[in-house]
Amino acid sequence: MTESEPVTFSHLIEKFPTLQDTPAIRAAFEHARRHLPAYLLNHVARSWVFAVSIARKAGSAFDDEVVASAALLHDMALVPVADGPYRFEVNGANAAREFVRRQGFDERRGQLVWDAIALHSTATVAIHKETDVALVVRGIGVDFGRPDYSLFAPEEMEGIVRLIPRLNMKCEFKKCLCDIAREHPEKTYNNFIREFGERFVSGYKAPSVVDLMMSAPFSE
């Protein structure tokens, strides 16, 4: 594997022995690999590695398949395969829950996957949820420099990024989110894509809570 290539499942399992290899996890990775661009595939793979590492550092028990599936599938709604009429986190959560049910997840485990993905951009809520949900959201956050980044020694972080390169992550992710804000502003309500639209997309205007309240059908 070179620095310009997306990560492979065998590479992850070989280089990160704390990651588990099960049919359900392989299926989630293969689904992500088939549909995500290289930079996003590497992002979701790093998110998985970070989530498991956070758990190991804290000695927390967790469901490997729930954490892996949610981490690996959390950005599927940024590509057409999991598109839908709602904000992208909900579209992705709906698609992921259906996917893991086909892998044999019961209702409870499927709901944990849904919660982790639906709340992954609302970390201030998600970190107070079940351990599996919180781990996924914290792992994703590390790839954006959120507070759990400090749990990783510089050489540890350097090693992870070397093994799963970022592939111009900042620029590519910015472009992806700005395209959504430009083409589907209705899907950016109350999520962080709105901030990219407001800063980078000319003419962007998202629905607002202020608009909703002021247009409510009451006399005052």
pTM over 0.75: yes
**Rounded CA separation 58/142 (Å):** 15
Residue 113 has pLDDT above 80, yes or no: yes
Q: Are residues 122 and 211 in the same domain?
A: no
Tell me if 4 is assigned to some domain: no
In a domain, 3, yes or no: no
| Helix locations, the chain, DSSP H | 9-15, 23-35, 38-58, 64-73, 88-102, 107-118, 123-126, 131-142, 154-163, 169-183, 193-200, 209-214
Q: What percent of the chain has pLDDT over 90?
A: 85
Q: Does 86 lie in the same domain as 173?
A: no
Q: Mean per-residue pLDDT for 87-110?
A: 97
Domain boundary among 166, 186, 208: 166
- Is the confidence at residue 2, as pLDDT, over 80? no
Residue 97 is assigned to a structural domain of this protein: yes
Residues of the domain holding 174: 168-220
Q: Are 124 and 156 in the same domain?
A: yes
Band of residue 154 on the pLDDT scale cut at 50, 70, 90 = very high
- In DSSP notation, 90-153 reads HHHHHHHHHHHHHTT--HHHHHHHHHHHHTTT-HHHHTTS-HHHHHHHHHHHHTTT-GGGGGS-
> pLDDT confidence of 166, banded at 50, 70, 90?
very high
Same domain, 162 and 173: no
Residue 70 lies in a domain: yes
Q: Do 121 and 209 lie in a common domain?
A: no
Domain co-membership, 128 together with 177: no
Token output for 164? 């799963």
- Contacts (Cβ under 8 Å, ≥6 apart) of 207: 185, 186, 189
Q: Are 67 and 25 within one domain?
A: yes
Same domain, 56 and 154: yes
Least trusted range by pLDDT, from 137-146, 172-181, 202-211: 202-211
Answer yes or no: do 154 and 172 share one domain.
no
Last residue of a domain, one of 166, 184, 205: 166
* 58 & 132 share domain: yes
Give dist(CA 28, CA 111) in Å, integer.
16
Mean pLDDT of the chain: 94
In total, how many domains does the chain have? Answer: 2
Q: Tell me if 107 is assigned to some domain.
A: yes
Residues 106 and 122 in one domain: yes
Domain boundary among 166, 191, 209: 166
Confidence of residue 44 (pLDDT cuts 50, 70, 90): very high
Q: Are residues 100 and 139 in the same domain?
A: yes
pLDDT band at 16 (very low <50, low <70, confident <90, very high): very high
